[in-house]
Chains A and B, each alone.
Chain A
Amino acid sequence: MATKIDRRNFLKVLGLGGAGAALAGCDMPSYATLEEGEEQVFSYLAPEEYMVPGIGVWYASTCLQCAAGCGVHGRVREGHALKLEGNPDTAVNKGKLCQMGQAALQTHYNPDRITSPRIGDKNVTWPEALAYIKEKGRGAPAWLTGSIGGHQAVLLDTHLRASGGGTHYAVETINAQAWQAACADTLGDAQPNLHVDKASSILSFGADFLGTWISPVKFMADYGAFRGDQRGVLTVVEPAMTLSGANADHWVAARPGSEAAVALGVANVLASEYGVSISTLPNGAADAIAAMSAGRVAELSGVDAKTLSKIAGTLMSNHPSLVVGDGSYETAAAAMMLNLMLGNVGATITPGAELIPADLGVRSGSTKALADFATDAGAGRIGTVFITGTNPAFTAPGGLKIKDALNNVGLKVALSMFEDETTALCDVVLPLASSLEDWGTHVPATGADRGEIHVQQPLMEKLYPDVLGLGDILLGLSQDAGADGLADFEDYYGYLRTAVSAMIGTELEPAWQAVLQAGKVQAPAQDRAFTANGALSFNVAETKAPAPGQLHLITTARQGLFDGRHANLPWLQEAPDQISKAVWDSWAEIHPATAAGLGLKDGDYITIGSDSGLITTRVFTYKGVHPDAIAVPMGRGHTDYGRFATGIGVNPLSLLDGTQDGRTGEFTNTATVRVQATGDNRHLVRLMDTDRQYGRKLAATITADQHRRNQANKQGSA
């Protein structure tokens, strides 16, 4: 070959000097087609600057599929994002990614994306849409979003301030508000760091830390270490099996709503049988623990004294432990009492850090915010609302009558990638860029090194010319509202670059490129400190067996379709549910004995009715659900969410009545329901129709004792 400039060297030049090209690495084509080498002849007349045919380039960015904020590397070839991997340089996900993160590609390339602004049913231009919003907007606009942090949140606050001081409602159906409130009350820190990897035993009361809780990939990465040579013991107490429960050494079924009673009962055993001191606990806790005798626990939860002793014994013999709980404030607070008693605070629970520019911090979404919004909207206090990153018309409890509340708002503007149940109610819909097309900064929910913020950069050109990033829209609205100091910025990229440059103290190009290449930036931050705790009150629910003909419904969350936002991704619809292994439809989990009592068998259609709604779905029997309970995973049941989700399955959230937790204001996820067979039956499509191995050595097991003997011989570890 005459020239010595090969593609690899060309790319090196681009990586260091090319505008906008931040190369995290590249891979080479792997075809042995030319006689002299491994590479391919390619005719490419007008390549983009950073585009080299046949060569994949990796860009760092941030995953926005849930609020955890994992760092990603995206593979880009011929200008197209093709694959996402975890960013190995982040402390949060350490190069790993969950199925929702993998499927972000299908969110981006989804055929049902909105490509043009619309007013009512009519597609319009951006200036027309913005003029309409300006003309019809009444009063100070409010924002209804999901969890949001970083510079988008700063701009959102700026817009609210500049436009008259409206309210920001951050809504997340799957959240950890109860846990955070309990942490705030007992430790003075709502978001402490949890060290799954440092625990010798973990006890969870309904907190699905491997599936959907706070930062599942972070916890799963640490769980890998937890299951390492010094193998920890996992115990899970919950009414229906979650992904965490499905990995438990001991799984205990508790009646829905009785998890707090079990946790206090374990504390009682620790105090009475093992002499663990409860005198240092906050006022109110000691009384609640003393009142929770084994007999009382059994009455409330159906968990017997032997099981309580076993749980307590496991905690005592495997130090340090970590106890987590969520679902209700009492459950989380009782879990935290166990942590205090067992000396886990300071060992597996350490203070979190907070950003010094506090306005960058995450506004953690809650369901209380949705209740507040419904109240305010219903009372006519909201003239204009901007909605993005949340789908309240789908996720709100049926009893909340969210549609009535929304219809009471003068002007509803949705910023969305997809038409959904909420955009259908909105007056104006603005097309949003995907997470792979947009700029941003995101504060991880937990687990980042102190002060580390993840940076999001576009992996490719926008698929549609008329979509705009959330940051760009926020900047434009803020400028329009006359916010100070923003007039000079042409776009959100300019704003973000200036803001990040200020953070790192230099505006030089190489420093900016280094930030993009790393996918993260260091913000000033300080460690919090735990503070002494005050009084707590425990209002342990009076849970009892349901009346004949009734069952306790639990709406469960799964990594996958999540709260319904990922139901339009075929990869996730077709990924068999981790527990039931069902695909492309909903199901109701019932204990075999309960089903037999009701005359139900697998595949029978049943109606599940409450005062708030009625759904019809199929029965799936298994023993991972409490006999008093019926569990229906959320995520499906969309009526308007594109070709892959609409009309598939049912939405159990429609059965909830919108009762709020006394301390946190969160919606409860349980309801009392009536169950009736319709008489129809159709086979539920699952990956496999058996739960048993029939004695074959497929997924084999050894006991922990055998494992420990191996460890002692230093032969058994992987």
Chain B
Amino acid sequence: MPSLLGNIFKGWADYSKGVEEGGHHDYEHMFAMVIDLDRCTGCNACSTACYAENNLATVGEDKFGARQAMHWMRIERYFDEPDMDPDKDKVEPANETDTQSRGASFLPMMCQHCNAAPCEPVCPVGATYHTVDGLNAQVYNRCIGSRYCANNCPFRVRYFNFYENAESWPAPMDQQLNPDISVRTKGVMEKCSMCIQRTRAGRDAAKREGRDLKDGDIQTACQQTCPTSAILFGDLLDENSVVSKVWKRQQVKLGTYKQDKENSELRGYRIFEELNVDTKVLYLERVREV
């Protein structure tokens, strides 16, 4: 049993290390993603798979319009391409009579599992915290619904249960609910957990078999269903994982708000990097033939 004093010193050491190393934590794993926007077709398969896997409530038109939908993973769709348009700083496009000359830009957006998550320190009850898997987790039965976390999230990927959403699952639809995770109740914040039930199951299976977790042991629901394989998931602490290799190849490092790339034309980038929240989702830019 560690002493109280020991705990304090350990906590202080962890804290100062975190400050010195830009949000470093002593992780066992650091689960992260890569999303290739050039492969993403915007088809919604990932998002619907997420509804099925994670017991997400459907809310109907009115509540959706009030921004009360529960889509942990949403596909944003843009028609402008600031990197390619000469008039990118203008708010409205120059010529209204044109038709679209390129397709759209789709962006799967879910919790970025920031290493320096702005949602965490503002929670008055510590309901959101970082796990040893490097995930930003939400403890539902600790949440009191202050919504400070959602207010502080630059990605707007935290979803609050404004209502008891039980009518989402009229019998027998409730029989489909995934028993591995809870159904959230009114007054509770929820968000993408990178399929924590799957990561737990994968870790436990590896432990049972007395081995280390291998890359590919765990697939998130969105990754598994993605028809074009645009989504990769894995452990950044495992140097041989596919995600580690892609992060390295794209010269994107954790713990910084400004990447110093040798090759500035590499496609990898993190959204809102300048906010220094240290997200763990690497996007690869869409490629467009001019």
Interface residues on A, range: 35 or more
Q: Are B84 and A245 in contact (CB under 8 A)?
A: no
Asked if B114 is at the interface (CB within 8 A of a chain A CB), the reply is no
* B47 partner, pick from A99, A111, A224, beta carbons under 8 A: A99
Q: Are A30 and B224 in contact, with the CB atoms below 8 A?
A: no
- Give B36-82 interface residues, CB cut-off 8 Å to A: 36-39, 41-45, 47-49, 51-53, 58-62, 64-65, 69, 71, 74-82
Q: Contact at B64–A584, with CB atoms within 8 Å?
A: yes
Task: Enumerate chain B residues within 8 angstroms of A110, measured Cβ to Cβ.
Answer: 173
Question: Which of B104, B175, B267, B287 interacts with A109 by CB under 8 Å?
Answer: B175
Contact (A593, B96) CB under 8 Å given A220-B43, A691-B79, A692-B78:
yes
Given contacts A103-B48, A246-B42, A584-B64, whether A623 and B173 have CB atoms under 8 Å apart is: no
B228 close to chain A: CB less than 8 A: yes
Contacts of B36 in A (CB 8 A): 227, 718
Asked if residues A692 and B80 are in contact (CB atoms below 8 Å), the reply is: yes
Within 8 A of A (CB), among B231-278: 232, 246, 249-250, 263, 265-267, 269, 271
Which A residues from 227 to 262 make CB contacts under 8 A with B?
A: 227, 231, 233-234, 236, 241, 243, 245-253
- Residues from chain B with Cβ under 8 Å of A704 in the complex: 287-290
Q: Is B210 an interface residue (CB 8 A)?
A: no
Question: Contacts A570-B58, A570-B168, A716-B266 hold; do A701 and B83 have CB atoms under 8 A apart?
Answer: yes
Q: Chain B nearest CB: distance from A360 CB in Å?
A: 27
Contact in complex: B75, A578 (CB < 8 Å): yes
Q: Nearest chain A CB to B100's CB is how many angstroms away?
A: 4
Report yes or no: B267 in contact with A716, Cβ–Cβ below 8 A: yes
Q: Does A508 contact B (CB under 8 A)?
A: no
| B81 contact set on A, CB distance < 8 A | 701
Q: What is the total number of residues of chain B having a CB less than 8 Å from a CB of chain A?
A: 96
The distance in angstroms between the C-alpha atoms of A691 and B45, with both chains bound, is 21
A220 touching B41 by the CB < 8 A rule?
yes
Q: Tell whether, in the assembled complex, residue A709 and residue B265 are in contact, meaning their CB atoms are under 8 Å apart.
A: yes
A279 surroundings in chain B (CB, below 8 A) = none
Residues 510 to 553 of chain A near chain B (Cβ within 8 Å): none
| Contact status B41-A700, CB under 8 Å | no
> B289 contacts A249, CB within 8 Å?
yes
Inter-chain CB contacts under 8 Å: number: 312
Verify if B10 is at the interface (C-beta below 8 Å from A): no
Quick one: given A99-B48, A247-B103, A715-B266, are A211 and B287 in contact (CB under 8 Å)? no
| Also in contact, A696 and B99, with CB within 8 A (given A77-B179, A250-B289) | no
Decide if B208 is an interface residue (CB 8 Å cutoff). yes
Q: B146 contacts the other chain (Cβ, under 8 Å)?
A: no
Residues of A within 8 A of B49 (CB): 97, 99, 102
Bound CA span A451–B36, Å: 34
Complex contact A248–B52 (CB within 8 A): no
Q: Are the CB atoms of A702 and B265 closer together than 8 Å?
A: yes
**How far, in whole Å, are A713 and B136 apart by their CA atoms in the complex?**
36
Docked complex Cα distance between A234 and B41 (Å): 12
Report how far A105 CA is from B38 CA in the complex, Å: 30
- A96 adjacent to B75 (CB under 8 Å): no
Within 8 A of B (CB), among A100-118: 101-103, 105-106, 108-111
User: What's the nearest-Cβ distance from chain A to residue B181, in Å?
Assistant: 10
B102 interface residue per 8 A CB criterion: yes
A105-B107 contact, Cβ under 8 Å, with A247-B42, A575-B48, A698-B271: no
B-binding segment of A78-86, A154-162, A396-404: A78-86
User: For the complex, what is the distance from the CA of A643 to the CA of B105, rounded to whole Å?
Assistant: 34
State the CA gap A643–B171 with chains docked (Å).
13
Contact between B100 and A224, CB atoms less than 8 A apart: no
Give the residue name and chain of the B residue nearest to A644 (CB): B58
Which residues of chain A come closer than 8 Å to B144, judged between CB atoms? none
Among B117-125, B126-134, B197-205, the one that faces the other chain is: B197-205
Given the interface pairs A105-B52, A701-B287, the reply to whether A706 lies near B265 with Cβ below 8 Å is yes
Q: Which residues of B contact A340 (CB under 8 A)?
A: none
Expressed in whole angstroms, the Cα–Cα distance for A99 and B221 within the complex equals 12
Which A residues lie within 8 Å of B228 (CB)?
220-221, 223-224, 227
| B43 and A702 form a contact (CB under 8 A) | no
B142 is an interface residue with CB less than 8 A from chain A: no
Judge if A687 is at the interface, Cβ distance under 8 Å: yes
A86 vs B249: C-alpha distance when bound (angstroms): 30
Within 8 A of B (CB), among A451-478: 463
Chain B nearest Cβ from A409, distance in angstroms: 34
Interface positions of A from 676 to 707, Cβ below 8 Å from B: 683, 685, 687-688, 691-707
Q: Which residue, of A38, A233, A702, A710, has the highest number of chain B Cβ atoms within 10 A?
A: A702
A30 near B287 with CB under 8 A, answer no
A85 to B75, CA, bound (A): 20
- With the chains together, A236 CA to B58 CA distance in Å? 34
Chain B nearest CB, measured from A647 CB (Å): 12
A183 CB within 8 Å of chain B: no
A80→B201 contact, CB < 8 A:
no
Q: Which residues of B contact A249 (CB under 8 A)?
A: 102-103, 288-289
Bound CA–CA A625/B221 (angstroms): 34
**Docked-complex contact B37 and A699, CB < 8 angstroms:** yes
Shortest Cβ distance from residue A624 to the other chain B in the assembled complex, whole angstroms: 5
B79 touches A623 (CB 8 A): yes
A83 to B220: give the CA distance in the assembly, Å.
13
B159 CB → nearest A CB, Å: 13
- Tell me, yes or no, whether B212 is within 8 Å of chain A by CB: no
Contacts of B250 in A (CB 8 A): 718
- Among A591-628, those with CB < 8 Å from B are 591-593, 596, 622-627
Q: B214 in the interface, Cβ–Cβ < 8 Å?
A: no
Contact of B52 among A571, A700, A706 (CB under 8 A): A571
Question: Contact string, A409-428, partner B, CB cutoff 8 A, digits 1/0?
Answer: 00000000000000000000
Residues facing A in B199-227 (CB within 8 A) are: 200-201, 203-205, 207-208, 221, 224-227
Considering residues A77, A236, A592, A716, which has the most beta carbons from chain B within 10 angstroms of its beta carbon? A716
* Chain A residue with the shortest CB-CB distance to B155: A698
Q: Complex Cα distance A625/B91, Å?
A: 22
CB 8 Å contact bits of A30-65 with B (1 = contact, 0 = none): 101000011000000000000000000000000000
B34 at the interface (CB under 8 A from A): yes
Cα–Cα distance between A718 and B71 once the two chains are bound (Å): 27
Q: Are A685 and B61 in contact (CB under 8 A)?
A: yes
Q: Does B104 lie within 8 Å of A224, measured CB to CB?
A: no
* A700/B285 contact (C-beta < 8 A), A30-B200, A30-B201 known: yes
Q: How far is the CA of A570 from the CA of B170 in the complex (A)?
A: 11
A687 neighbours in B (Cβ, 8 Å) = 71, 74-77
Tell me whether A700 and B179 are in contact (CB under 8 A). no
On A, residues with C-beta under 8 Å from B are: 27-30, 32, 37-38, 77-78, 80-86, 93, 95-99, 101-103, 105-106, 108-111, 210-211, 216-217, 220-221, 223-224, 227, 231, 233-234, 236, 241, 243, 245-253, 314, 463, 559-560, 570-576, 578-579, 581, 583-585, 591-593, 596, 622-627, 643, 683, 685, 687-688, 691-707, 709-710, 713, 715-718
Q: A241-B103, A623-B100 are in contact. List 15 more A-B contacts (CB 8 A).
A: A28-B208, A97-B45, A98-B43, A102-B45, A216-B227, A224-B228, A236-B103, A314-B289, A571-B51, A574-B60, A698-B78, A698-B107, A700-B82, A705-B290, A713-B263
Ordered nearest first, which 4 A-B pairs have the shortest CB separation? A220-B227, A224-B228, A584-B61, A99-B48
Pairs across A and B, CB under 8 Å, 24 listed: A37-B208, A82-B176, A82-B178, A83-B178, A97-B45, A97-B227, A221-B229, A234-B103, A246-B77, A246-B106, A249-B289, A252-B101, A463-B172, A574-B60, A578-B44, A584-B60, A624-B99, A627-B99, A697-B82, A699-B78, A702-B267, A703-B289, A715-B266, A718-B36
